[in-house]
Amino acid sequence: MRSQAAVPRFMSLLFVLFLPPVFSSSSRPQWVLQRVPVVLPQQTEARSAPHFLSPARLEVSSPCDPECHKRAPRPSYWDLRSLLAYETLHSDGQLTETAIGIYGYDPSSNTSPAYASGSSGKAERSHVRRKRQIFGHDGRFSIAGQNFLLKYPFSVAVKLSTGCSGTLVGDRHVLTAAHCVHDGKNYVKGAQKLRVGFLKTKQRDTQASPFYLPSNFTNHVEGGSAPYTPPTNEKMKFQWIRAKRTHVPKGWIKGNANDIGMDYDYALLELKKPHKRRHMKLGVSPPAQRLPGRRVHFSGFDNDRPGKLVYRFCRAGEETSDLLYQHCDAQPGASGSGVYARMWDGQRRRWERKVIGVFSGHQWVERQGASQEFNVAVRITPLKYAQICYWIKGNFVDCREG
């Protein structure tokens, strides 16, 4: 049977992903902390109320491929101030716009190897496809059983009422994609009464799951000491919490109609009350070659598997200063998922997962009559880290190292 055949593959992948990697102390892939700039709000003004007319788009497209992004001129300091200015949508429908100041900015800290190495800007040629979102064999995994769904790291994945996914990055904060709440022209239908859904157990079924893992597996996944019990086919439901505020950078709002918009496809939601779950820390996106196995991971709520959390990992591909390209299998609904990596934290002497990007979705670019496909995540650069961290913490003192 198909389920029986899938068991060995499922188990082997889980062992590879979650058992502590064997590295010498000198070769461990490590988080490299760096001083980040300061992004501070300066002036906030009221704006006219949004319309909330258009449905949220779960897919994004752009005429600009990796080669096009690499050729784009670097934003100036004043450009960055304009792009990182942001709008805040309040739950009562009021809209404000906030100008920002940037301090201690070092342009070289926002550079990826694609630029630093003197790249010619030539992109790897993608295979010609017809708007597919599964690359060959479907490598996604539906996570089942509260043993996994309700424990870290899977517990940080949440669903948005607009149909996208998000990631817990604070006690009451969710990181997602900007296009999940704003179409580049206005806020989408449902953005004012935006809700965030948390999976919880609905009822227990006595039938056991076919997947049996070692008794110490949960410890490796969560880092805790909870006893292991085999996962069951529990039915899950969503518990919803309203969003109090939604922050969207002006880079998305101003640039969605041109090439720069993709670089700023991120948004932060502040919930009306704490979610009381463990969240994942933010991290500045390292170069792809420094990632363990050059892999990235993310979990979201793909709409072809309703009510199920879907996990995947894949090799990171090309990158620009702001974008990371990869071929992780995904379907609409996964947009907004936090892309993360797991590396050694030398200060805390432990392995740490950090969100290093936001899964934006698929891009299809028509070139010479052929459709080229790209899978895109927005990288958390030092400036974006400073901005998002300030939105979460409310001060810059706690946001100086990323």
Q: Which of 179, 275, 297, 362 is catalytic?
A: 179
Show the 3-state SS of the chain. Answer: CHHHHHHHHHHHHHHHHHCCCCCCCCCCCECCCCECCEEEEEEEEEECCCCCCCCCCCCCCCCCCHHHHHHCCCCCHHHHHHHHCEEEEECCCCEEEEEEEEECCCHHHHCCHHHHCCCCCCCCCCCECCCCCCCCCCCCEEECCHHHHCCCCHHHEEEECCCCEEEECCCCEEEECHHHCECCCCECCCCCCCEEEEEEEEECCCCECCCCCCCCHHHHHHCCCCCCCCCECCEEEEEEEEEEEEEEEHHHHHHCCCHHHHHHCCEEEEECCCCCCCCCEECCCCCHHHCHHHEEEEEECCCCCCCCEEEEEEEEEEECCCEEEECCCCCCCCCCCEEEEEEEECCCCEEEEEEEEEEEEEEEEEECCEEEEEEEEEECCHHHHHHHHHHHHCCCHHHCEC
Q: Judge whether 259 counts as a catalytic residue.
A: yes
Q: Which of 209, 335, 337, 360 is catalytic?
A: 335
Q: Judge whether 335 counts as a catalytic residue.
A: yes
Q: Which of 259, 304, 345, 371 is catalytic?
A: 259
List, by residue number, the catalytic residues: 179, 259, 335
